[in-house]
């Protein structure tokens, strides 16, 4: 019967205990390419080394497994994380679970293999751990619950991706095709997302025996090997993806922007995220639109704002003037706007349905808001000055009178 010893998984992969998940993945891939049996046919030492690094990667690349390993110094799929944490704190080391002591005072852990604890549940008597808690059967249920469910991983869906896409003003307004380079995970071409190549090798956990001995606090348990399920064999980790089931790929993506797409709008491309593993569905890709600006037109929602200069005479007497719209960008005719007599600077006039087509409601369109800016002429000749003086005499109103009245 094999015994799982305390192994230095970090040393096997050549990384520090503070190594990130990315550091561990890179270290395993580098070692896997060097020691894989396909690269070293007939080399028993390389085969053993590959088994060691595969075992180390299996534990350290999984956040939950790694935490248990760091707490107890070993790992088994049958150990519940909560129980491992309690054991690491000494929660199972009290008098109720301590082993006997030899003559030299050394603690000797009990081997409970094959022992029946049913007597502790009968006759109204129940053994308690020091500090309270359930009996032995409760402890075993806690120590070895949920491990098998964690070991049998079904289809895992891929994660979603999010990218910000910059588009120019006219593409956002009128629509168009945009290209973007993204990095996404695709199904590994070697293992087809299964994480293994299908070939069998001796289980590195039990060394082919199908059983392991584990320590829980001061207790020793003989259990079926959680990694191979008692068969003594496991499948080879895929050397291409390192057991991830996916590889990273840079991809050129082409997608269409709808007319009227707004700044900050979120576009979802289903199934364009990271690939799933073990037959799991791919995630989605979300594109956040960053729309550009224009020197003439400003956009607020589906409305277009533009400031148009007019002369003093046009503002005073009224006129029909040409104004630009977003339709003129396509070579269309200019749109006429009627300036009412007496129009003041800052006054806003509306051109209905001359704004941006709505991306949400088909057939609907915003308006164009025209703000008037009166341009005062630079008078150079004496004749023009005389005319303006005459105009002032004929119109003696004080434009500041109302302001002083309110002050």
User: At which of 115, 133, 152 does a domain end?
Assistant: 152
pLDDT of residue 90: 57
With respect to residue 286, please indicate whether it lies within any of the assigned structural domains: no
Q: Can you name the residues that pair with 335 across neighbouring β-strands?
A: 323
pLDDT of residue 113: 43
Four-CA torsion 177, 179, 182, 184, nearest 10 degrees: 50
Domain that holds residue 142: 9-152
- Domain CATH for 114: 1.10.287.110
Distance of CA 72 to the CA centre of its chain: 31
User: What gap in Å lies between CA 308 and CA 337, rounded to an integer?
Assistant: 10
Structure tokens that stand for 296 in this block: 């003439």
pLDDT of residue 311: 94
**Cα separation values, 212 from 46, 57, 152, 291, Å:** 24, 19, 19, 61
pLDDT of residue 153: 58
| HSE (side-chain half, CA atoms, 13 Å) at 57 | 27
Place of tokens 């109720």: 96
With respect to residue 273, please indicate whether it lies within any of the assigned structural domains: no
pLDDT of residue 218: 64
pLDDT of residue 132: 41
CB atoms within 10 A of CB 81: 15
Residues with pLDDT less than 50, the chain: 1-4, 91-152
- Any residues with CB less than 8 A from the CB of 386 and at least 6 apart, and which? none
With respect to residue 179, please indicate whether it lies within any of the assigned structural domains: no
- Domain CATH for 307: 2.60.260.20
pLDDT of residue 299: 96
DSSP class of residue 139?
Answer: H
With respect to residue 157, please indicate whether it lies within any of the assigned structural domains: no
With respect to residue 330, please indicate whether it lies within any of the assigned structural domains: yes
Tally of domains in the chain: 2
> Closest Cα partner for 310 from 266, 345, 276, 263?
345
Place of tokens 């085969």: 47
**Cα separation values, 71 from 25, 79, 221, 361, 369, Å:** 21, 12, 18, 58, 67
With respect to residue 76, please indicate whether it lies within any of the assigned structural domains: yes
Four-CA torsion 70, 73, 79, 80, nearest 10 degrees: -30
Q: At what angle do helices 81-88 and 63-72 cross, to 10 degrees?
A: 30
With respect to residue 291, please indicate whether it lies within any of the assigned structural domains: no
> Do 268 and 217 meet the contact criterion of CB atoms below 8 Å apart?
no
With respect to residue 359, please indicate whether it lies within any of the assigned structural domains: yes
pLDDT of residue 192: 81
């Amino acid at each position: 019967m094999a015994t799982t010893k305390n192994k230095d998984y970090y040393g096997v992969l050549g990384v520090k205990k503070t190594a990130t998940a990315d550091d561990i993945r890179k270290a395993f891939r580098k070692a896997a390419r060097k020691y894989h049996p396909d690269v070293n046919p007939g080399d028993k030492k390389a085969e053993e080394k590959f088994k060691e690094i595969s075992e180390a990667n299996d534990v350290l690349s999984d956040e939950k497994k790694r935490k248990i390993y760091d707490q107890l110094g070993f790992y088994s799929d049958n150990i519940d994380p909560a129980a491992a944490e309690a054991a690491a704190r000494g929660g199972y080391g009290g008098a109720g679970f301590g082993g006997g002591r030899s003559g030299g005072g050394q603690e000797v852990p009990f081997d409970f293999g094959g022992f029946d604890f049913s007597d502790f549940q009968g006759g109204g008597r129940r053994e308690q751990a020091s500090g309270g808690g359930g009996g032995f059967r409760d402890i075993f249920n806690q120590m070895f619950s949920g491990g098998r469910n964690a070991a049998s991983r079904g289809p895992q869906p891929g994660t979603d991706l999010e990218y910000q896409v910059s588009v120019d003003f006219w593409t956002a307004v009128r629509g168009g095709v945009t290209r973007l380079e993204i990095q996404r995970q695709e199904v590994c071409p070697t293992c087809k997302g299964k994480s293994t190549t299908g070939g069998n090798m001796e289980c590195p956990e039990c060394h082919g025996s199908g059983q392991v001995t584990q320590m829980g606090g001061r207790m020793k348990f003989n259990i079926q090997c959680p990694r191979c399920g008692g068969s003594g064999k496991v499948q080879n980790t895929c050397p291409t993806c390192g057991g991830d089931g996916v590889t990273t790929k840079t991809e050129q993506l082409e997608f269409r922007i709808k007319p009227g797409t707004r700044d900050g709008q979120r576009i979802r491309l289903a199934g364009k995220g990271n690939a799933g593993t073990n037959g799991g569905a791919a995630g989605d890709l979300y594109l956040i639109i960053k729309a550009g600006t224009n020197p003439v037109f400003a956009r607020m929602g589906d409305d277009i704002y533009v400031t148009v200069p007019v002369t003093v005479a046009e503002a005073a007497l009224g006129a029909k003037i040409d104004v630009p719209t977003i339709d003129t960008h396509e070579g269309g005719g200019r749109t006429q706007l009627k300036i009412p007599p007496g129009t003041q600077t800052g006054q806003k006039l509306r051109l209905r349905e001359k704004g941006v087509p709505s991306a949400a409601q088909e057939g609907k369109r915003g308006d164009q808001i025209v703000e008037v800016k009166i341009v005062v002429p630079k008078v150079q000749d004496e004749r023009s000055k005389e005319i303006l003086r005459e105009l002032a005499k004929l119109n003696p109103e004080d434009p500041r009178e109302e302001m002083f009245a309110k002050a």
